Structure 1
Amino acid sequence: MKRLSNFFSELVRYDAKPFERSKFLARHRTATENLFTSESFEESYRLCCICLDFIWERLHSGHWNQIEFFWREIYSYFSALAAVSLFNAEGNLSECIKLIDYGLIMGIDINCILTRLAQQLHDEIPKSSLLQICDVKTDTDFQQQDSSIPFDKETISIYSDPDCECFLKEIGKELPFKIEGGVNHWPAAEKWSVNYILKQCAHRHVPVEIGSKYSDETWTQEIMPIYKFVQTYFDPKQSTKGYLAQHDFLGQVPLLKEDIVIPDYCFMTPELEGERQKGEVVVNSWFGPAGTVSPLHQDPRRNLLCQVFGRKLLILVPASDSAFVYPASEDPLLLNTSQVDVENVDSDKFPLFGKATQITAILNPGDMVYIPPKCWHYVKSLDPSFSVSFWFD
């Protein structure tokens, strides 16, 4: 790969403005680039790691939303330079990819350098190594039916390819509804499976939520390679759940993003009142084994939840019934989450929940469900599953 010199050249040309905020890191940027140019790759890598450790502490010095953005930019820069230096020093592909993925997860994709670099490095991994990982199990080995959830039939309104007029009429009701086969035209609907994801991304690192649901005290997160995530948490014998949830995985791996299409419905809504501006469509991925749960919660924007493979059960409560769902008011981070376990409702503790309108839906491969803003929804995977959500205004 010619020592990845093209990526190094792009990094050297990267705008230095973020480094104006830290003279310490600006000096280290110059030093690492000079070391690389003189082919002192091990020293360049070592110095990059010192900078990454320093920035890591700053990134974890408070609430994520309060961290100044320039720290994320600089973290991504040194992640990319560390990977290029390490590749030239040792050729350790897996560790180089890990460095890049940490840069993407904790930082940003500088001029698309990091996503392109990660893909090129992953493409260099011998196919025999990928096949050995992927052939450990087939998709049928991951199947795990979950019949413990009480539901008789779907009560959600169902449509097939609604036109703009029908879609706008339905969203005006502020109730959820399902569009059957709404994403059957995606290349992902035909191509994707657990093994396909492994073959494309086995050594890519992603943040995995560990625990039955994020509202539990024992819940935690860990960044790990996709193959470890699948081998560990997709095993039907594994009692602990692992979930790649609400993560911009497709932005991290543009090769997969090419297989999905932002639904036209995301651009059909009327203009917002007053001077409020519509935000960008936010795309997130949800990938995990059977039994993963998102507890009953609400989101601030419209949502189209689209199913690529596997099935999911949804239980939805309209925003108009919010008085009956008991949000977790004692924890500021869980104000959008209900205290009620919809599978095992404690009627003595939550007596009003029985008054809430519960709408049930089964999200099959190719389907999408429209979820209005502030509509409460509980989601459980019935099979190994990959979903894509689109938040829009």
Structure 2
Amino acid sequence: MLLFKPVGQCWSWRRDAFKDHSCAFTRCVIAHLMAATWSKISTLLPADEDHFFLHFDDKVEASVLDVLRRCRRQLYTETGSAARLLDAQIILDVSWEKLNTGTWRDVDKEWRRVYSYGCLFKVCALCGEEPAEEDLLQAVRTCDMGLLMGAAIMDDRLQALVQVLQKEVGKNTKNEKEREHPEVKRIKLACPNVPLSRKDLEIPRVKCPSLESFKNNYLLPLKAVVLEGTIEHWPALNEHPWSVDYLRSVAGCRTVPVELGSRYTDEEWSQRLMTLSEFIDRYVSKMSDTSQEDAATVCGYLAQHQLFEQVVGSKYIRLYSPEDSDKVYPHPSPLLHNTSQVDVENPDTERFPAFPEAPYQECVLRPGDVLFIPVQHWHYVRSLEQSFSVSFWWS
């Protein structure tokens, strides 16, 4: 009670004492929270150095192995974060050079594993003491880089780490996001009425077929089909409807690969790694309603079966059988042999005279539709509005 007694200098002294106590208390709380972050991360690591195995073949030089072992030892000793960051960065720099020498398919998996271990050690260095918000975000990005460019290590430990880190980032930004977006609403876009050219060319539709029926009637005979009613239970279509704001709120800090350019056969086409929030801010938010529509991909095929799920908006899709590959005019380049040279909806018939004769099937996918695309079927996709889709591939 004396703390609030307004008696001149005595009040001033009590006020300062309260301020000092409050600051000390705040620092203790912050330190406790940060220690809690490391506690959660450390539970995902082996109990001691003897159970933290580092096995590589002779493609990885002895000098690199020495640094890896030193990084491992630092996890279980009192080593400053600066020294730990330095050694982790050495691992990342050396392995990054290996990952970017030659074509990706020629990169040895051992070096991808080395890169993943470097990412793990860097995350631990960033979060071992009192990580600031920027440290947590950098740790999330480091995990994502390991997941994208590295190889699975220690029972996919990077995936487990990033889930913990993302929750910690979410705690720090939850109140701010709730103030900015008190209610995340689904984008309401009217699906355009796009007539198909001919009814007999439309890909057939079936509602919730049994696995046996799907296997016998479509998978084995390699026939395309639109499946209806098979993903209606997805949260993305119900209690957590997808929108730009929603995706930012749940995954804005995650690093993703982004393809930039209208077509990947164009000279200006490129790929970049950026956070989902950066992608939204730089490209999605600046798009006009017109530029969000009619985004098309070149015609190509995959060496795997594909399920193409439409979640938001609508897309026009056209399929060509692998039996008609010669009429689709694949690129002569080995790197683009699965890509057509033809602009599907505006073909140059002088250069590609047989293309108009190629039979095809087509459909318009709307939210909840799932298209089965059989292996090696050429497919052309055009967005009719702002839309989100999900794909699964299997052999």
**Higher relative helix content:** 2
Aligned length: 343
Q: For residue 84 of structure 1, what is the aligned residue in structure 2?
A: 124
The 10-residue stretch of structure 1 (107-116 or 345-354) with the greater mean CA deviation from structure 2: 107-116
- Going from structure 1 to structure 2, the CA distance change for 1:107 and 1:166 (only over 3 Å counts) comes to same
State the SS of the aligned residue for 1:71. helix
Deviation track 1:161-194 (CA, whole Å, cap 9, x = no partner) reads 2234542123454332211222112333322413
Q: TM-score, normalised by structure 2?
A: 0.78
What percentage of aligned pairs have identical amino acids?
30
Output the CA distance in 2 between the equivalents of 1:44 and 1:291: 49
Deviation track 1:244-280 (CA, whole Å, cap 9, x = no partner) reads xxxxxxxxxxxxxxxxxxxxxxxxxxxxxxxxxxxxx
Q: For residue 160 of structure 1, what is the aligned residue in structure 2?
A: 207
State which of 349, 355, 358 in structure 2 corresponds to 1:356.
358
State the SS of the aligned residue for 1:55. helix
Tell me, yes or no, if structure 1 residue 30 matches structure 2 residue 50: no
Q: TM-score, normalised by structure 1?
A: 0.78
Letter of the 2:223 partner, please give it: L
8 A Cα contact 2:184 2:246, kept in partner: no
The 10-residue stretch of structure 1 (88-97 or 5-14) with the greater mean CA deviation from structure 2: 5-14
- Going from structure 1 to structure 2, the CA distance change for 1:77 and 1:292 (only over 3 Å counts) comes to farther
Letter of the 1:193 partner, please give it: W
Output the CA distance in 2 between the equivalents of 1:134 and 1:228: 18
Q: For residue 118 of structure 1, what is the aligned residue in structure 2?
A: 162
Any stretches of 5+ residues in structure 1 without a counterpart?
242-288
Q: For residue 183 of structure 1, what is the aligned residue in structure 2?
A: 231
8 A Cα contact 2:91 2:114, kept in partner: no
Residue 98 of structure 1: CA displacement? Answer: 0.8
Letter of the 2:104 partner, please give it: W
Tell me, yes or no, if structure 1 residue 128 matches structure 2 residue 175: yes
Output the CA distance in 2 between the equivalents of 1:132 and 1:97: 24
State which of 76, 94, 109 in structure 1 corresponds to 2:152.
109
Deviation track 1:44-82 (CA, whole Å, cap 9, x = no partner) reads 012111210111000111111111111111111110110
Q: For residue 5 of structure 1, what is the aligned residue in structure 2?
A: 42
Residue 137 of structure 1: CA displacement? Answer: 9.1
State which of 218, 226, 231 in structure 1 corresponds to 2:276.
226
8 A Cα contact 1:44 1:82, kept in partner: yes
State the SS of the aligned residue for 1:351. coil
Tell me, yes or no, if structure 1 residue 296 matches structure 2 residue 296: no
Output the CA distance in 1 between the equivalents of 2:52 and 2:367: 42
Matches within 5 A, 1:32-111: 32-36=71-75, 37-89=77-129, 90-91=131-132, 92-110=135-153, 111=155
Residue 152 of structure 1: CA displacement? Answer: 4.5
Deviation track 1:270-319 (CA, whole Å, cap 9, x = no partner) reads xxxxxxxxxxxxxxxxxxx6544331111122222122222221011122
- Going from structure 1 to structure 2, the CA distance change for 1:26 and 1:165 (only over 3 Å counts) comes to closer
- Going from structure 1 to structure 2, the CA distance change for 1:378 and 1:139 (only over 3 Å counts) comes to same
Q: For residue 255 of structure 2, what is the aligned residue in structure 1?
A: 205
State which of 292, 307, 311 in structure 1 corresponds to 2:310.
307
State the SS of the aligned residue for 1:124. helix
State the SS of the aligned residue for 1:337. coil
8 A Cα contact 1:146 1:291, kept in partner: no
- Going from structure 1 to structure 2, the CA distance change for 1:76 and 1:292 (only over 3 Å counts) comes to farther
- Going from structure 1 to structure 2, the CA distance change for 1:101 and 1:170 (only over 3 Å counts) comes to closer
- Going from structure 1 to structure 2, the CA distance change for 1:180 and 1:296 (only over 3 Å counts) comes to same
- Going from structure 1 to structure 2, the CA distance change for 1:218 and 1:53 (only over 3 Å counts) comes to same
State the SS of the aligned residue for 1:221. strand
Output the CA distance in 2 between the equivalents of 1:316 and 1:229: 30
Any stretches of 5+ residues in structure 2 without a counterpart?
1-35
Letter of the 2:326 partner, please give it: A
Letter of the 2:121 partner, please give it: L
The 10-residue stretch of structure 1 (37-46 or 170-179) with the greater mean CA deviation from structure 2: 170-179
Output the CA distance in 1 between the equivalents of 2:356 and 2:268: 28
Deviation track 1:303-355 (CA, whole Å, cap 9, x = no partner) reads 221222222210111222212101011x2111000011112211222111100
Output the CA distance in 1 between the equivalents of 2:167 and 2:89: 24
Larger Rg: 2
- Going from structure 1 to structure 2, the CA distance change for 1:19 and 1:355 (only over 3 Å counts) comes to same
Output the CA distance in 1 between the equivalents of 2:344 and 2:87: 51
Output the CA distance in 2 between the equivalents of 1:185 and 1:136: 22
8 A Cα contact 2:109 2:151, kept in partner: no
Q: Which has the higher contact order (CA 8 A, sep 6+)?
A: 1
Residue 237 of structure 1: CA displacement? Answer: 2.7
Output the CA distance in 2 between the equivalents of 1:202 and 1:133: 14
- Going from structure 1 to structure 2, the CA distance change for 1:96 and 1:133 (only over 3 Å counts) comes to farther
**Higher relative strand content:** 1
- Going from structure 1 to structure 2, the CA distance change for 1:97 and 1:176 (only over 3 Å counts) comes to same
- Going from structure 1 to structure 2, the CA distance change for 1:6 and 1:166 (only over 3 Å counts) comes to closer
For the aligned residues, what is the CA RMSD? 2.9
State which of 217, 237, 242 in structure 2 corresponds to 1:193.
242
8 A Cα contact 2:316 2:363, kept in partner: yes
Q: For residue 266 of structure 1, what is the aligned residue in structure 2?
A: none
